[in-house]
Structure 1
Amino acid sequence: MEYIILQPWPWYVSGPLIAIVMFLLLYFGRTFGMSSNLRTLCAIGGAGKRVAFFKFDWKSQRWNLVVVLGAIVGGFIAHNFLSNPTDIALSQNTVEDLKILGFENIGQSLLPPELFSWDAAFSIKGLLILVIGGFLVGFGTRYAGGCTSGHAITGLSSLQLPSLIAVIGFFLGGLVMIHLIYPILF
Structure 2
Amino acid sequence: MIDWITMDSWSPYVVGAGIGVLSWIAFLLSDRPLGASTAFAKSAGMIESAINRENADQMSYYQKIKPKIDWQWMIVFGMIIGSLLSSFLSGRLAVLIVPPIFAEAFGADALFRFAIALIGGILIGLGARWADGCTSGHGISGTLQLSLVSWIAVVCFFVSGIAVAALIFGLGIK
1:182 Cα shift? 4.4
Aligned to 2:134: 147
Does 1:74 find its partner at 2:82?
yes
Aligned to 2:61: 53
Quick one: distance in 1 between partners of 2:17 and 2:37? 23
TM-score (norm 2): 0.71
TM-score (norm 1): 0.67
**For 1:122-169, what per-residue CA distance to the aligned partner results, in whole angstroms no more than 9, with x for missing partners?**
13xx34423432332122112211111111111111111111111111
1:43 Cα shift? 2.1
Aligned to 1:6: 6
| Corresponding residue pairs, total | 150
Assess if the C-alpha contact under 8 Å between 1:6 and 1:84 holds in 2. no
- Structure 1 segments (4+ residues) deviating >6 Å: none
Secondary structure at 1:177's aligned position in 2?
A: helix
Aligned to 2:143: 156
Query: CA 1:17–1:128 in structure 2 vs 1: closer, same or farther (change >3 Å)?
Result: closer
Assess if the C-alpha contact under 8 Å between 1:114 and 1:120 holds in 2. no
Query: CA 1:169–1:134 in structure 2 vs 1: closer, same or farther (change >3 Å)?
Result: same
Aligned to 2:73: 65
Alignment partner of 2:159 out of 150, 167, 172: 172
Aligned to 1:97: none
Cα RMSD over matched residues?
2.9
1:82 Cα shift? 3.0
Quick one: distance in 2 between partners of 1:175 and 1:181? 10
Quick one: distance in 2 between partners of 1:120 and 1:167? 33
Aligned to 1:122: 111
Query: CA 1:66–1:135 in structure 2 vs 1: closer, same or farther (change >3 Å)?
Result: closer
Amino acid at match of 2:87: H
- Structure 2 runs not aligned, ≥5 long: none
Quick one: distance in 2 between partners of 1:132 and 1:37? 19
Structure showing the higher helix proportion among its residues: 2
Quick one: distance in 2 between partners of 1:175 and 1:83? 30
Aligned to 1:100: none
Secondary structure at 2:33's aligned position in 1?
A: coil
- Percent sequence identity over aligned pairs: 31
